[in-house]
Amino acid sequence: MRHRLAPVFFERKRRMSVSWKAGIIVSGTVQEGNCVKNILVTGGTVFVSRQIAEYFLAKGQNVFVLNRNSREQPAGAQLIEADRHHLGEILRSYHFDAVIDTAYTGEDVSLLMDALGDFGSYVLISSSAVYPESGTQPFKEEEPVGVNRYWGRYGTDKIEAERTARQRKPGAYILRPPYLYGPMNDIYREAFVFECALKNRAFYLPGDGKMRLQFLYVGDLCRFIDRILEQKPDRHTFNVGNPDTVSVREWVELCYEIAGRQARFVNVPKKKKIAQRDYFCFSEYEYVLDVSWQNRWMADLRPMRDGLRESLYWYEQHADQVERRPYIEYIETKNKCQWD
């Protein structure tokens, strides 16, 4: 028997759906005649996939999450407990209006496609890591993909995931974000800077701190997914990200300011041949995406100051959920003459 839920219609009166859960603001007008959709989110328990699940839950959609049930589930989501590599027939009887997939590899995509029954739109969260560092910047969606020596296998696996998605689901949507940030980010990036700030530590800055980074607030990623599912544009591959980049120094200063601290810096000269990733949360790789197509569909992105403020609020309550790396310990093992 196919699990096709009966359409649920909202009340006649227009109402505003707003959620502050997990620091993400979800707002949108729900009108008479808009029926609830069934949305499958792979994962749904950590950072990006969880924020996607909670975003659509806040909008009143029926959200299904596919995972092994080893973590806390989003409140209100319907769990489909399974390993995505051993799905069998567990998904066959469901109908999904949209599938939002955070797959890492082509095999991930293929196994999911094999297991699905009837479904509508498919969105793959890919990565800017698919662009080789030797390509022409800012990277446009038409830029050839290829091996990036900084991203390695992660990037080539995402390339295969994209290729498989297009082969198995013509019309699949592919999103390529840069560095994502926001509440629930368990990667030790802004959390690293917040920890240094809250401990009143001097921050060890790579070189002159002018290397530029491009970010995207995770809530804006959710909103863009929503936008393309609603409007179904003819274009199917999008770079998504803030149109402006920020220098490493500016980013750290902003994180410290939000934490109520004044940043003090120790500049680490590149000539010291100290590997940047031993003491800092980004590789020595500067790149930028051309997000012109994204801006045609959604240009109103969250200011970084506001997004980082929400990140700090979450971090202060959930520091134990961040996958901490030993940057501070590495810095402390070096005596001062090694840094000067």
Kindly list the averaged pLDDT for each block of 10 residues, start to end, along the chain of length 340: 37 32 44 72 98 98 97 97 97 97 98 97 98 97 97 98 98 98 98 98 96 98 97 97 98 98 94 88 97 96 98 98 96 73
Residue 218 in contact with residue 187, Cβ under 8 Å? Answer: no
- DSSP one-letter string for 236-280: -EEE-S-SS-EEHHHHHHHHHHHTT----EEEE-GGG---HHHHS
Residue 46 per-residue DSSP state: S
Q: What is the pTM of this model?
A: 0.90
Domains within the chain, CATH numbers bracketed: 7-176 (3.40.50.720)
Residue type, 201: R
- Joined together, the tokens standing for residue 150 give 């900084």
Residue 292, CB-side half-sphere exposure with 13 Å CA sphere: 6
Mode of pairing for the β-strands spanning 15-19 and 26-30: antiparallel
CA atoms in the 13 A half-sphere facing the CB of 325 = 15
What is the rounded distance in angstroms from the CA atom of residue 130 to the CA atom of residue 244?
20
Q: What are phi and psi of 214, to 5 degrees?
A: -120, 135
CB atoms < 10 A from the CB of 307, how many? 25
In 3D, which of 296, 244, 293, 287 has the Cα closest to residue 141? 293
Q: Both tokens of residue 164?
A: 């498989």
Per-residue model confidence as pLDDT tens digits over 128-179: 999 999 999 999 999 999 999 999 999 999 999 999 999 999 999 999 999 9
Query: Which DSSP category does 21 fall into?
Result: G
Task: Residue 318: name the closest of 199, 185, 218, 190 by CA.
Answer: 185
Contacts of residue 35, defined as CB under 8 A and 6 or more positions apart, other chains included, come to: 7, 8, 9
| pLDDT of 273 | 78
> How far apart (Å, rounded) are the C-alpha atoms in residues 91 and 40?
10
Measure the CA–CA gap between 315 and 148, rounded to whole angstroms.
Answer: 31
Give the closest residue to 283 by CA, choosing from 156, 115, 152. 152
Name the phi and psi angles at 100, rounded to 5: -115, 115
Distance in Å from the first CA to the final CA of the chain: 69
**CA–CA separation, 283 vs 300, rounded Å?**
29
Two structure tokens written together for 334: 């070096």
CA angle 1, 55, 80 (to 5 degrees): 30
Q: Are 203 and 190 in contact (CB under 8 A)?
A: no
DSSP 176: E
Q: How far is CA 306 from the centre of its chain?
A: 17
